[in-house]
């Protein structure tokens, strides 16, 4: 399913969300307008390590970030494995992989670093490496 967010189009795997497309799009619109900071959608997480990382992502409040290393430490894993799991997130924005950053830079995002920066700015999060 395609969603529109900040003048970009993102694909998400709607089969992983227990809601109709209109509800998903409405919550995305509310997020973009600042009416919503969290999504009220039931998510079917992936199995295994990627699912564990996805659950860690949703535990990061809007306006905050965690580094790949912090998430890796919490999950007793490696930073690179966390980054790879972030890249496999089938429902970005709803499961906020944009909130996982490098120690001193934004570092990779399937939607592009400009969108990652915009999402973090929208949430009022500090951006690593920027004043």
Say how far apart CA 47 and CA 25 lie, in whole Å.
Answer: 25
- Indicate whether 111 belongs to any domain: yes
- Indicate whether 130 belongs to any domain: no
- What domain range is 74 assigned to? 2-123
Three-class DSSP labels, 49-79: HHHHHHHHHHCCCCCCCEEHHHHHHHCCCCH
- Indicate whether 86 belongs to any domain: yes
**Catalytic machinery residues:** 97
User: Across residues 104-108, what is the average pLDDT?
Assistant: 86
> Which tens digits make up the pLDDT trace of 9-49?
999 999 999 999 999 999 999 999 999 999 999 999 999 99
> Which tens digits make up the pLDDT trace of 51-63?
999 999 999 999 9
The count of domains in the chain is 1
CATH number for the domain harbouring residue 76: 1.10.10.10
């Amino acid at each position: 399913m395609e969603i529109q967010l900040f003048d970009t189009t993102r694909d998400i795997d709607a089969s992983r969300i227990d809601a109709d497309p209109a509800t998903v799009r409405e919550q995305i619109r509310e997020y973009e307008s600042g009416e919503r900071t969290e999504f009220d959608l039931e998510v079917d997480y992936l199995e295994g390590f990627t699912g564990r990382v996805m659950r860690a992502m949703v535990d990061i409040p809007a306006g905050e970030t965690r580094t790949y290393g912090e998430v890796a430490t919490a999950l007793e894993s490696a930073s690179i494995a966390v980054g790879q799991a972030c890249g496999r997130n089938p429902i970005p924005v709803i499961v906020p992989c944009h909130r996982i950053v490098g120690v001193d830079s934004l570092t990779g995002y399937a939607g592009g670093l400009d969108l990652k920066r915009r999402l973090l700015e929208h949430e009022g999060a500090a951006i690593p490496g920027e004043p």
